[in-house]
Chains A and B, each alone.
Chain A
Amino acid sequence: AQSVTQLDSQVPVFEEAPVELRCNYSSSVSVYLFWYVQYPNQGLQLLLKYLSGSTLVKSINGFEAEFNKSQTSFHLRKPSVHISDTAEYFCAVSDRSGGFKTIFGAGTRLFVKA
């Protein structure tokens, strides 16, 4: 069965510092992987996705994530964070064994301090 583990529930970081939000998944078949972001009092928005091809995927606002099949990981990184990046980040997986329904992790709250 699919599952997603986000290893950190909260990550405090200073502005302009780098950050990594960790995500591991379990699946026995080929997967599609996603990161969603949720700003306060809003729904989730797609940040980036891995479908196939290049293992490094990037978002328009400077985030990137790397698919590592051997470690079953899809960590999210940003080299320099802004105050406006403060939000909750959800890792998600979808595969054939789950009927392509999306399974989410518990989320990581990123708190950027001035």
Chain B
Amino acid sequence: EADIYQTPRYLVIGTGKKITLECSQTMGHDKMYWYQQDPGMELHLIHYSYGVNSTEKGDLSSESTVSRIRTEHFPLTLESARPSHTSQYLCASSERGREYSPLHFGNGTRLTVT
């Protein structure tokens, strides 16, 4: 049973639309992350947060934005979707206080922008 939830699982949307990908976790983890996954490529970190009101950009430049108003919730927003945003987006969380803490992943949102 998943402790980290992503919705929607699949989303097909037209160019120019605003979208929000939801991510929630019930484990009380302070650290949360968004990764972008394309076939045959490394997972790329696009955003992360180490706690409420803390957000940072990751290693891969992204036009998306994130917010962390509550510990359990870490939504990702695209103000104006483009075909280049087509990808799978994975949300993850980990415990604070342990530098080696492994990541717990949601099942992902597969986004297609037409």
Report which A residues bind B (CB closer than 8 A): 4, 9, 32, 34, 36, 41-46, 49, 51, 90, 94, 96, 100-107
Q: Which of B2, B103, B107 has the most CB of A within 10 A?
A: B103
Report which B residues bind A (CB closer than 8 A): 2, 4, 6, 35, 40-43, 45, 48, 58-59, 90, 92, 99-100, 102-108
**Contact (Cβ within 8 A) A43 B105:** yes
Q: Please report the C-alpha to C-alpha distance between residue A102 and residue B104 in the assembled complex, in whole angstroms.
A: 12
B57 to chain A, nearest CB (A): 12
Give the number of A-B contacts (CB < 8 Å). 55
Q: Please report the C-alpha to C-alpha distance between residue A96 and residue B108 in the assembled complex, in whole angstroms.
A: 28
Chain B hits for A46, CB < 8 A: 102-104
**Contact (Cβ within 8 A) B107 A41:** yes
**Contact (Cβ within 8 A) A49 B102:** yes
B79 to chain A, nearest CB (A): 25
Q: Per a CB cutoff under 8 Å, which of B43, B104, B106, B108 touches A104?
A: B43
**Contact (Cβ within 8 A) A101 B100:** no
Closest residue of chain A to B4 (Cβ to Cβ) is A43
Given contacts A41-B107, A101-B45, A107-B40, 4 further A-B contacts (CB under 8 A): A4-B42, A36-B105, A43-B4, A49-B100
**Contact (Cβ within 8 A) B100 A106:** no
Q: Please report the C-alpha to C-alpha distance between residue A90 and residue B99 in the assembled complex, in whole angstroms.
A: 20
A45 in contact with B105 given A90-B43, A100-B99 (CB within 8 Å): yes
